[in-house]
Chain A
Amino acid sequence: MCLISRFAARLLIFVYLLVVGQTAHAGEKITIAAATDLKFALDEIVVLFSKAHPADRVETIYGSSGKFQAQIRQGAPFDLYFSADIAYSRALKDEGFAASEVQPYAVGRIVLWSPKLDTGKMSLTDLVDPSIRKIAIANPKHAPYGKRAEEALKAAGMWEKVEAKLVYGENVAQAAQFVQSGNAQVGIIALSLVVSPELARQGSYALVLDTLHQPLEQGFIVTKRAAGNMLAQAFARFMAGQEARAVMSRYGFLLPAEVK
């Protein structure tokens, strides 16, 4: 009996230390929820930002824009929200979940990408080729890149012809992964992913004409919970600076016109 209660006491202390022990940290911390197309670019920007703020911590979480938007409405602990479709950020702003204006930060592009086929000279009309059995796109229902891929296929008159070949990733990164693993031959995915060091050596890509779809205008907000958070404000300013813009344009994003 005594042994058991001593064991239980130790167990409680152990759990207590596990929960409480990790909170000791000198600087501030912010969490950014961002669309998956930013995975590589934003990681680089965070590294640059952290050099100027060595005591602070910036945490990034990548996923589909729609999911994060719903989570922020439910009180998710995100300080900044980068959506692949600026409309998602605007909706949150209109509903009072933002502590800043909606900041446009980039315009994305979609590409045809394949590790095996030479996509260099391909266009959407080549997708009917029988050797292409599966084509991966992000789910148009809630992923902006998937929506734009659908629009482009429809505008090119190809949707009916290739619909049976389409497989849908939960987000644009999963669509890329379907192609990377060889299970789909071609993907219509984000330019910012295929120029990343990870994918750049693994294949070729062709830009999809941006006249075929609505622009992939992207925007971020500082969320309401981060109002007054200096670190979040500093990161928002850093995004507009030269260093961050250089990274963004290296990843193939078009930048919003300079505002002086």
Chain B
Amino acid sequence: MESAFSAADLSAIWLTFKLAAVVTVILLLVGTPIAWWLARTRSFWKGPVGAVVALPIVLPPTVIGFYLLVAMGPNGPLGQLTQALGVGLLPFTFAGLVVGSVFYSLPFVVQPLQNAFEAIPERALETAATLRASAWDAFFSVALPLARPGLLTASVLGFAHTVGEFGVVLMIGGNIPDRTRVVSVQIYDHVEAMEYAAAHWLSAGMVVFAFLVLLALYTLNPTGKRK
């Protein structure tokens, strides 16, 4: 039997993991303040902002892909911005996929974090305040450690959901080897070209990966543990 994965397959796998890792880091940085705000605010805007964050769960990836393609194009607002900044246009680039995936996976990071922050008893933060901890200090030494299970869930889901992305990438990626051809697109191409053996290898790999990730999540983070 030939080797299971071709060079193109391996490149797609590497690219997919690179994309998911970058997106997860960005999402944790962007998503944590959003989740913290959503968890603590009593503002009127809580509802609307929460709804916007959750949109990608409901919207078909084609909607996100279509709007991103237009918005990041030469006449779109994002495209105008990136051109003015001298970075050029984002479609068909790795950076473009990162932007698309950040939108697409945002709720999968924000929502577990928000739940974790909401579960922190108000008293824990008040105690920190009476011990003269600054707001930052209280956040980093009290809130974050208490929200650790949520942080883990958010990272794993953000990463895994980005690995599982297909529609958005197909619409803004342009299928370029080493830059935008991720595993899901590579599988699609194999199937279209009737290379079922190659498609099987990659697909089975994805199934194993998804199972192991979820298994790790449920083992490390049993839901019944709280209290």
Q: Is the CB of A70 within 8 A of B194?
A: yes
> Chain B residues with Cβ under 8 A from A69's Cβ?
194
How distant is B57 from chain A, measured CB to nearest CB, in Å? 24
In the complex, per-residue mask of B72-96: 1 if CB is within 8 Å of any chain A CB, else 0: 1111000100000000110110000
> Chain B residues with Cβ under 8 A from A183's Cβ?
69, 72-74, 89, 91-92
Q: B170: which of A67, A134, A166, A170 is its contact (CB, 8 Å)?
A: A170
Q: Which residue of the partner chain A has the closest CB to B75?
A: A182
B192 at interface by CB-CB < 8 Å: yes
> Chain A residues with Cβ under 8 A from B164's Cβ?
none
Tally of contacts, chain A with chain B, CB under 8 A: 56
Known: A70-B191, A141-B192, A142-B193. A167 touches B74 (CB 8 A): no
* Alpha-carbon distance between A114 and B3 when the two chains are bound, in angstroms: 42
Give the residues from 141 to 185 in chain A that come closer than 8 angstroms, CB to CB, to chain B: 141-142, 166-170, 178, 181-184
Known: A181-B69, A183-B89. A167 touches B194 (CB 8 A): no
A139 at interface by CB-CB < 8 Å: yes
How distant is A78 from chain B, measured CB to nearest CB, in Å? 16
Interface size class for chain B? 20 to 34
B205 at interface by CB-CB < 8 Å: no
How distant is B75 from chain A, measured CB to nearest CB, in Å? 6
In the complex, per-residue mask of B185-200: 1 if CB is within 8 Å of any chain A CB, else 0: 0001101111000000
> Chain B residues with Cβ under 8 A from A184's Cβ?
92, 174
Q: Which one of A139, A142, A183, A184 has the greatest number of beta carbons of chain B within 10 Å?
A: A183
Known: A182-B75, A183-B91. A167 touches B174 (CB 8 A): yes
Q: Is the CB of B189 within 8 A of A141?
A: yes
Q: Is the CB of B73 within 8 A of A182?
A: yes
Q: Is the CB of A168 within 8 A of B174?
A: yes
Q: Is the CB of A64 within 8 A of B89?
A: no
Q: A141: which of B69, B75, B174, B193 is its contact (CB, 8 Å)?
A: B193
Q: Is the CB of B193 within 8 A of A66?
A: yes
How distant is B70 from chain A, measured CB to nearest CB, in Å? 6
B115 at interface by CB-CB < 8 Å: no
* Alpha-carbon distance between A7 and B193 when the two chains are bound, in angstroms: 48
- Chain B interface (Cβ within 8 Å of chain A)? 69-70, 72-75, 79, 88-89, 91-92, 170, 174-176, 188-189, 191-194
